[in-house]
Amino acid sequence: MELSDAIEVSRVNNVFMRKGPRPLQVGSLVLIGHHLIFSPVPSCDGNSDDFWLLHRAVDRVLYEPVSKERPSKGGLLVLKCKNFMIIVFEIPNWDECQAAARSIETLSNINSCDHDYPFYYRCSFQVLDDGWKAFDSEEEFARLIVRCGDAFRISSVNEGFKVCPSYPEKVIVPKGIGDDYLRISATFRDGSRFPVLSYFHKHTKSCILRCGQPLIGPTNRRCKEDENILKSLLNHNRGTIIDTRAIQIAQNARSKGHFEGIAIKLSVIDFTNGCLWIFCCHNHCFEILIAFYLVMVA
């Protein structure tokens, strides 16, 4: 579909626009692929700047004739925007008013992101730096790996977002765990969110991992590969699972089997609002990580 196909009328002249508390303006309303443009007639007060509005910013389109008894007087086109701004256009021709309304309605409700404005934008200036390469995740992760020592590694298991669509392509995982284990663990976790490193304390060597809820099911299904990922971090350290879902939601999940099993001997299960976190830390610094966690969720 071409965006131009959705435009029934591209330009309407002698339009009155009322936008918020600003005074009434008269000018031309122009519809293009991603924007509507109101170009006012130059006035004595010098207020003749064009008004541009993304079709995506429009939440609701309303239109009605100025006079139901005499539709020839034209129509009112009301745009209610997502930022709560309300714009009213008075269009002298009722047919053009309806055509403009239908066009804006269609263009503001296109579902395909391929038609969004960023994919059509062309820079009017020379780009000096490539923003896509300004941040190299592998290079940044490599700095963290130096601090983590031999406990973690950078994995490309999610290359092309094939394993987990909500994880980046590069993730930090326990060093002794292969990518095959991560793929199997992803099938055992909600949203394919297998355990990955989120925080590492340089001095205490404590870490925070995050993952999705386990899909244990009513048969108490287990996943040895997933258990081995957690065991590889625990060793002789104390570990804590904190389920950050609301208590009621977590209890409902327990009845459906979407709850952390007892195969991994961890010390505490706690409830707050959010997602599932796994803490692995030494006994003497457990309070430090809990304090850090509370700051994050606040």
Q: Would you place residue 256 in the very low, low, confident or very high pLDDT band (cuts 50, 70, 90)?
A: low
Look at residue 271 and tell me if it is in a domain: no
- 92 and 145 co-located in one domain: no
**Given this model, what pLDDT does residue 181 score?**
94
CA–CA dist 242, 285 (Å, integer): 16
CA–CA dist 124, 28 (Å, integer): 25
Look at residue 211 and tell me if it is in a domain: yes
Q: How many domains does the chain have?
A: 2
**Given this model, what pLDDT does residue 148 score?**
75
- 66 and 107 co-located in one domain: yes
Look at residue 287 and tell me if it is in a domain: no
Straight-line distance from the first to the last Cα atom of the chain, in angstroms, rounded to the nearest whole number: 45
Residue carrying structure tokens 């009722």: 94
- 229 and 183 co-located in one domain: yes
Look at residue 285 and tell me if it is in a domain: no
Q: Which of 268, 274, 258 shows the shortest CA–CA distance to 290?
A: 268
For the purposes of burial, counting CB atoms within 10 Å of the CB of 61, is it exposed (0-12), middle (13-18) or buried (19 or more)? buried
The rounded mean pLDDT for the chain is 79
User: Does 226 have pLDDT greater than 80?
Assistant: yes
- 92 and 150 co-located in one domain: no
CA–CA dist 51, 17 (Å, integer): 10
pTM above 0.75, yes or no: no
**Given this model, what pLDDT does residue 220 score?**
80
β 238-243/276-281 pair status: antiparallel
Look at residue 281 and tell me if it is in a domain: no
- 141 and 214 co-located in one domain: yes
- 179 and 222 co-located in one domain: yes
DSSP 84-118: S-EEEEEES-HHHHHHHHHHHHHHTT---GGGSGG
**Given this model, what pLDDT does residue 292 score?**
34
Which amino acid is it at 187?
T
The domain spanning residue 48 has which CATH number? 2.30.29.30
β 238-243/269-271 pair status: parallel
The lowest-confidence range among 120-134, 223-237, 241-255 is: 241-255
- 146 and 107 co-located in one domain: no
189 DSSP 8-state letter: B
- 103 and 186 co-located in one domain: no
CA–CA dist 173, 225 (Å, integer): 13
**Given this model, what pLDDT does residue 296 score?**
37
- 177 and 206 co-located in one domain: yes
Look at residue 124 and tell me if it is in a domain: no
* Residue 212 CA: distances (Å) to CA of 47, 170, 244, 276: 55, 18, 11, 6
**Given this model, what pLDDT does residue 1 score?**
64
Instruction: Indicate the residue among 236, 256, 276 that finishes a domain.
Output: 256
Instruction: Indicate the residue among 84, 119, 154 that finishes a domain.
Output: 119
Q: Which of 116, 44, 58 shows the shortest CA–CA distance to 89?
A: 58
Is residue 18 within 8 Å of residue 76, measured between CB atoms?
Answer: no
What angle separates helix 224-234 from helix 179-188, to the nearest 10 degrees? Answer: 120
Look at residue 294 and tell me if it is in a domain: no
| Residue 203 tokens, joined | 């001095």
The predicted model gives 12-31 an average pLDDT of 90
User: Does 284 have pLDDT greater than 70?
Assistant: no
Instruction: Indicate the residue among 90, 119, 148 that finishes a domain.
Output: 119
The predicted model gives 273-286 an average pLDDT of 42
Q: What are the tens digits of pLDDT across the range 81-133?
A: 999 999 999 999 999 999 999 999 999 998 877 888 888 888 788 877 777 77
- 151 and 101 co-located in one domain: no
Look at residue 278 and tell me if it is in a domain: no
- pLDDT top residue among 7 and 4: 7
Alpha helices in the chain (DSSP H): 94-107, 137-148, 179-188, 224-234, 247-256, 286-297
The lowest-confidence range among 68-82, 174-188, 264-278 is: 264-278
The lowest-confidence range among 56-65, 163-172, 201-210, 276-285 is: 276-285
- 104 and 212 co-located in one domain: no
The domain in which residue 114 lies consists of 3-119
3-state secondary structure of 294: helix
Residue 15 CA, distance from chain mean position: 37
